[in-house]
Chain A
Amino acid sequence: MLEIKNLHASIEDENRAILNGINLTVNPGEVHAIMGPNGSGKSTLSYILSGREGYDVTDGEVLYKGQDLLEMSPDERAAKGVFLAFQYPIEIPGVATMQFLKVALNSQRKARGEGELSTPDFMRLVKEKSAALNISQEMLKRPVNVGFSGGEKKRAEILQMAVLEPSLCILDETDSGLDIDALKLVAEGVNKLRSPDRAMIVITHYQRLLDYIVPDQVHVLSKGRIVKSGGKELALELERNGYAEYVGDAA
């Protein structure tokens, strides 16, 4: 599904290296957790995978389903099944949530050569998916994320994911700002989407989320490099010992 090979990247105009040779292979059906301290490059990785501007890839490559991902525009990536659940979902005044969802879904379908979904079919789909995430009709009537609480924003991201049914889900600190009930709800929504042909990258600081979304592999990111990989028990070890061991060579 995803092959990241020796990925080096820096922030545009700053010449500051953020990623220093990441290697990661994610197969269909797998859930990979990426953990690491602040500033280790976790969010940068998620932005580079989803196509945000402002980064220079200085070396390496990223193959998605065998194609060069970095060559594609953000909307092309989305249409091909890449989805980023944002750490800080953006509020967009004036754009109605339902209109946004419908335009997004139909743009993706169009790009894939599928027919557009009719309004009744679309409404049915959203109703079904939103009920499971405890998202009210009232929330759906508001502009995209406007006036949503932190937890509502995260649930709205998972709703988008459920409606768009991507192949590769990247969850960037989806647990941040969630209380335990919201966390369970979000994790349940994510788990529902686990399937043999879908892969997930779960970026998080804390092990807590991984109690609910159990990963196949855990990677520790430090200074833009994966310094250790292991099974889910690695997350528990990190919870006990912290990241000190992996950032030890700091000056």
Chain B
Amino acid sequence: MSLTLAPTAAETAYQGFALPHRRQEDWRWTDLRQLLDQAYPPTNGTKASAAEIDRLIATDALAPFARARLVFVDGAFDKARSKLPATGAITLEHLTHGAPPSSARGAYDDPLANLNDRFCRESLRLTVKAGTAEDAPIALVFVSTGHEAVTTCTRAQIIVEKGASATLLETHIGGAGAYVASSLIEASIGDDARLDRVKIAEDGQAAIHLASFHVKLGTQSSLNDFTLTQGAKATRQQTFATFTGQHSNIKVAGAYLLNGKQHADTKITVDHAVPHCTSRELFKCVMDDQARGIFQGKVVVRKDAQKTDGKQSSNALLLSETAEFDAKPELEIFADDVVCGHGATSGSLNDDYLFYLRARGIPEDEAKSLLIAAFASEAFDEVAHEAVREALGELTQGWLINRKPA
């Protein structure tokens, strides 16, 4: 018997859309009925001043590296602030007539995608043409001004055609006010194609970041995905990856840099629907103060998916007594000739490491920072773009500098 709960203010603003809550297994740590503590009516378009928007856009750490840059402000594509891809390898379509789900969407029950389906008014479709290698990254910049307590819905569809390759940089930034940012990225990676994606989740301190990434891979294709989560009051982000062709591989990595009362919950499902594919998940989560990090990784190996190689690991570094980490690894294996594993660790800074560094003259705070940065950086070691990798290192340093007691 299902129990109908009285709609919350947020659900009313969502025209009765039922938010997932803790009694649903996948949402046990992130109860959206509770988190969305007021009405956040969906809107599209901004009321913020140009100066405010420009100030926020200027904080995008990945701005220097993109050849094309597509900017959204409070849900609406901002062509004037964007730099469109030069015609050639990439075609860009701006869809303003509502946004149907793409073929990358699996048959998952994804309430975040459903919410986005319901209220998203426009989207972008980027197609990287067959056989083209796009070395310069393409950036998607999602700005939420936080000018009003609203929900903004954005979505982009990335199609990397057969034999093509592309690097996608995705930045989520926002102002100080409370808001909900709903993001949906759907990617199709064709046969012999490659997609590298780097996402920085740096929404404003009162924001709720709700993101889903659905991706399908063809034969001999690869996805190298990294997400840095350091913004927002609360984050729920999900990756649903499906192998549809053999001999493909996926790397999904992430780092958390959380403090205060921040909450971040990542849910990853990798579906090995076909044989001979490899998946790797690595999350390095740093939590200070009363922050709480959650990692839920699920690897599904279907009956025929022999020779699957799937591994996931999550490591938490707790910098205070009151920080918390929860890990829920899941393996659902229906094939019998596979190599799958998972590991989760959680601990504080290693005293032996710390003493070794201090015994060489490195002061305690600096030694701690070095160790924290080293811990987090393992998650972005495999980001292929060197300058982007360095920028991620600098973001980590920036977080560490702010952390130090004045």
Contact = CB atoms under 8 A, between A and B. Distances in A.
A160 to B, nearest CB: 7
B367 to A, nearest CB: 8
B217 to A, nearest CB: 29
B355 A100 contact: no
Name, among B356, B361, B378, the residue most crowded by chain A CB atoms within 10 Å (CB to CB): B361
Nearest to A112: B361
Contacts of B356: 86, 89-90, 92, 144
A150 to B, nearest CB: 17
B371 to A, nearest CB: 7
B364 interface: yes
A95 B370 CA distance: 7
Interface stretch (A32-40, A101-109, A117-125, A239-247): A101-109
Nearest to B370: A95
Contacts of B18: none
A147 interface: no
B361 A51 contact: no
B355 A75 contact: no
B377 A160 contact: no
B358 A73 contact: yes
Name, among A51, A78, A79, A160, the residue most crowded by chain B CB atoms within 10 Å (CB to CB): A78
A77 B377 CA distance: 30
A94 B361 contact: no
Interface string B30-58: 00000000000000000000000000000
A74 B359 CA distance: 5
A16 B370 CA distance: 34
Q: How large is the interface on A (under 10, 10 to 19, 20 to 34, 35 or more residues)?
A: 20 to 34
B399 interface: no
B41 to A, nearest CB: 45
A79 B361 contact: yes
A90 B373 CA distance: 18
Nearest to B358: A74
A213 interface: no
A77 B352 CA distance: 17
Nearest to A80: B361
A146 B377 CA distance: 16
Contacts of B367: 75
Contacts of A160: 360
A94 B358 contact: no
A107 B366 contact: yes
Interface string A31-74: 00000000000000000001111000000000000000000011
A215 B361 CA distance: 27
Contact of A74 (B355, B366, B370): B355
Interface in B348-392: 351-353, 355-364, 366-367, 370-371, 373-375, 377-378
A103 B378 CA distance: 20
A111 B363 CA distance: 9
Nearest to B352: A90
A27 B362 CA distance: 27
B362 A92 contact: no
A78 B371 contact: no
Nearest to A85: B359
A250 B82 CA distance: 82
A53 B364 CA distance: 13
B362 A95 contact: no
A78 B361 contact: yes
A93 B377 CA distance: 10
A164 interface: yes
A92 B371 contact: yes
Interface in A163-177: 164
Interface in B267-299: none
Contacts of A108: 360-361
A94 B378 contact: yes
Contacts of B352: 90
Given A73-B364, A92-B353, A51 B358 contact: yes
A19 interface: no
A89 B352 CA distance: 10
22 contacts: A52-B355, A52-B359, A53-B351, A75-B361, A77-B359, A83-B359, A86-B356, A92-B356, A92-B357, A94-B371, A94-B374, A94-B377, A95-B374, A100-B357, A100-B360, A104-B357, A104-B360, A104-B361, A108-B360, A108-B361, A164-B360, A164-B361
Interface of B: 351-353, 355-364, 366-367, 370-371, 373-375, 377-378
Interface of A: 50-53, 73-75, 77-79, 83-84, 86, 89-90, 92-95, 99-100, 103-105, 107-108, 111, 143-144, 160, 164
Given A74-B358, A94-B378, 18 more contacts: A51-B358, A52-B355, A75-B359, A75-B360, A75-B364, A75-B367, A77-B359, A78-B359, A78-B361, A79-B361, A83-B359, A86-B356, A92-B371, A94-B371, A94-B377, A100-B370, A103-B366, A107-B362
3 A-B pairs with least C-beta separation = A94-B374, A78-B361, A108-B361
